[in-house]
Amino acid sequence: MILNGNQRGGHGDLARHLMKPENEHVEVHEIRGFVSETVAGAFKEAHAISRGTKCTQFLYSLSLSPPAAENVPVKVFEDAIDAVESKLGLSGQPRVIVFHEKQGRRHAHCVWSRIDADTMTAVKLPHTKLKLRDVSRQLFIRHGWQMPDGLVDRSLRNPLNFDRKEWFQARRVKQDPRDIKGLFQQCWSAADSGKAFKHAIEERGYYLARGDRRAVVALDVHGEIYAVARWADVKTKDVVARMGDVSALPSVEETQAKIAGLVRDKLTGFIGSAVSDFAQAAQGIEAKRLAMAERHRADRRSLQAAQDERWTKEAVERGTRFRRGIRGLWDRLTGQAAKLRDQNERETTQAAERDAREKQALIERQLDERRHLQREIDHTRRLHTKDMAMLYRQTSGPKLTHDDEKPRQKFRQSAGLRL
């Protein structure tokens, strides 16, 4: 189970995030230590108490994400939350637990108030990342889940990591940043000269240009600029050494004009048709997803209503076991009433456990159905990505520039479709 946590303020934004309707199912599982019975109200209470201190990050927010293919009972989430609570020194602090379901996966969020109301001080949280990593490793071992490489040894983590600038730049062009960075690294590793690197990168739809301060950059078909050293994860001086005379490279403006001529006539129509086909497929699948989510919600409401009705009926039946009047007094004197109370308590506990099992079974059936749909979604997305990648690679094909046409400096980005 992957654990991510951070200290924060912004109680209003956090409450809205936890209750966002974009999740297919949202369940407030527990509100402990607060007077309010709503998430927003509980966080307002935490904020009000924090104003008596100097602490601005008065909340600690934790997300718990189990392996995608595992059906994890509520009890496992609760035990994991309790383990984190103990490890971080948050035992007994007010908390809120919310479950989310999206794309066939279920995860949980737990938010604690850091403010100790007795001492009016914030609970200190040193080395939280290391502590969460330890708890996470223990959870994978305890439940027999396959442990990610990053938990086994930090040196084995996926090398395709990004800083903030790299991530948002990749998102603007609607491509997976891991694919972009991997492409640059593979081309750089496979090339033994500047000419070979230029040929390899152009085959994949990127064109080298002369950037500022003798830096070498690459431009894609959208006109987006990538620093070669950053995306290939090498030093700038190594890039300059391999490329040789950087001044011989065309300027960014010249390269933009070249790319505009290449893609203007040939790829605009191809990319447009690919996006249109994907949009049509996405629309049909999205309709299925929405219908499934609504049906699942209805099934859960139906189960809850049936359980509530049964609970009430059973409670009434248990209440009728106690006799009234003289006979009731006699039962109390003889101990029969105490036996009945013990029996009722046992049956109440058993009924609660039964209801929890029924709910968990329904959730697991629905998650299994949703995962089947997610596989269809992923397959459609992979096909679209493959087609788009092929079109981008074709930008290194025959030159289509017309001398009498003005080069375009702006590029239309392919439509970003949510599927």
Most trustworthy range by pLDDT among 137-146, 221-230, 263-272: 221-230
Which residue type is seen at 38?
A: T
Residue 415: per-residue pLDDT: 37
**Is-contact 46 59, C-beta < 8 A?**
yes
Residue 66: per-residue pLDDT: 93
Q: Please report the DSSP string for 142-168 in residue order.
A: HHTPPPPHHHH-GGGS-S----HHHHH
**Residue 88 and residue 19 share a domain:** yes
pLDDT in tens, 235-274: 989 999 999 888 889 999 999 988 888 766 666 676 777 7
Q: Pick the range with the lowest mean pLDDT from 21-35, 44-58, 173-187, 283-297.
A: 173-187
Residue 322: per-residue pLDDT: 81
> What is the per-residue burial (b if ≥16 Cβ within 10 Å, else e) of 69-96?
eeebebebbeebbebbbebbebeebbbb
**Residue 88 and residue 6 share a domain:** yes
Q: Which residues contact 219 (CB under 8 A, 6 or more apart)?
A: 206, 207, 209, 225, 226, 252, 255, 256, 259
Domain assignment present for residue 261? The answer is no
Residue 8: per-residue pLDDT: 94
Average confidence (pLDDT) over 124-142? 88
Average confidence (pLDDT) over 314-331? 84
Residue 375: per-residue pLDDT: 92
Mean pLDDT computed over every residue of the chain: 83
**Residue 107 and residue 16 share a domain:** yes
**Where do the H-state alpha helices sit in 224-251?**
228-232, 236-243
Under the banding of pLDDT at 50, 70 and 90, the label for residue 158 is: very low
Domain assignment present for residue 404? The answer is no
- Out of 136, 156, 176, a domain closes at 156
pLDDT exceeds cutoff 70 at 324: yes
- CATH number, position 83: 3.30.930.30
Domain assignment present for residue 266? The answer is no
**Residue 289 and residue 191 share a domain:** no
Q: Which residues contact 410 (CB under 8 A, 6 or more apart)?
A: 223
- Distance CA(349)–CA(333), nearest Å, equals 26
Residue 204: per-residue pLDDT: 80
Q: Which residues contact 2 (CB under 8 A, 6 or more apart)?
A: 64, 65, 66, 136, 148
pLDDT exceeds cutoff 90 at 127: yes
Q: Facing residues of 225 across strands? A: 219
Under the banding of pLDDT at 50, 70 and 90, the label for residue 404 is: very low
Tell me which of 193 and 418 has the higher pLDDT: 193
**Residue 375 and residue 301 share a domain:** yes
Domain assignment present for residue 325? The answer is yes
Number of domains in the chain: 3
**Residue 190 and residue 292 share a domain:** no
Domain assignment present for residue 255? The answer is no
Domain assignment present for residue 257? The answer is no
Tell me which of 418 and 55 has the higher pLDDT: 55
**Residue 111 and residue 22 share a domain:** yes
Q: Parallel, antiparallel, or unpaired for β 2-8 and 59-65?
A: antiparallel
Please give, one letter per residue, the 3-state secondary structure of 368-417.
Answer: HHHHHHHHHHHHHHHHHHHHHHHHHHHHHCCCCCCCCCCCCCCCCCCCCC
pLDDT exceeds cutoff 80 at 153: no
pLDDT exceeds cutoff 70 at 24: yes
Domain assignment present for residue 264? The answer is no
Residue 350: per-residue pLDDT: 93
**Is-contact 7 114, C-beta < 8 A?**
yes
> What is the per-residue burial (b if ≥16 Cβ within 10 Å, else e) of 357-390?
eebeebbeebbeebeebbeebeebbeebeebbee
Q: Pick the range with the lowest mean pLDDT from 8-22, 39-53, 201-215, 222-236.
A: 201-215
Phi, psi of 217 (to 5 degrees): -125, 165
> What is the per-residue burial (b if ≥16 Cβ within 10 Å, else e) of 144-156?
eeeeeeebeeeee
**Residue 375 and residue 288 share a domain:** yes
- Distance CA(227)–CA(180), nearest Å, equals 12
Tell me the pTM: 0.57
pLDDT exceeds cutoff 70 at 130: yes
**Residue 279 and residue 199 share a domain:** no
**Residue 85 and residue 44 share a domain:** yes
- Out of 121, 156, 191, a domain closes at 156
- Distance CA(214)–CA(216), nearest Å, equals 7
**Residue 7 and residue 151 share a domain:** yes
Average confidence (pLDDT) over 202-226? 86
Which residues span the domain enclosing 45?
2-156
Average confidence (pLDDT) over 47-52? 94
Domain assignment present for residue 44? The answer is yes
Residue 399: per-residue pLDDT: 42
Token pair of 198, please? 């230029």
Residue 157: per-residue pLDDT: 34
Residue 177: per-residue pLDDT: 76
- Out of 216, 250, 284, a domain closes at 250
pLDDT exceeds cutoff 60 at 45: yes
**Residue 373 and residue 294 share a domain:** yes
Average confidence (pLDDT) over 376-388? 86
Residue 417: per-residue pLDDT: 41
Which residue type is seen at 368?
A: D
Average confidence (pLDDT) over 285-295? 93
pLDDT in tens, 76-114: 999 999 999 999 999 999 999 999 999 889 999 999 999
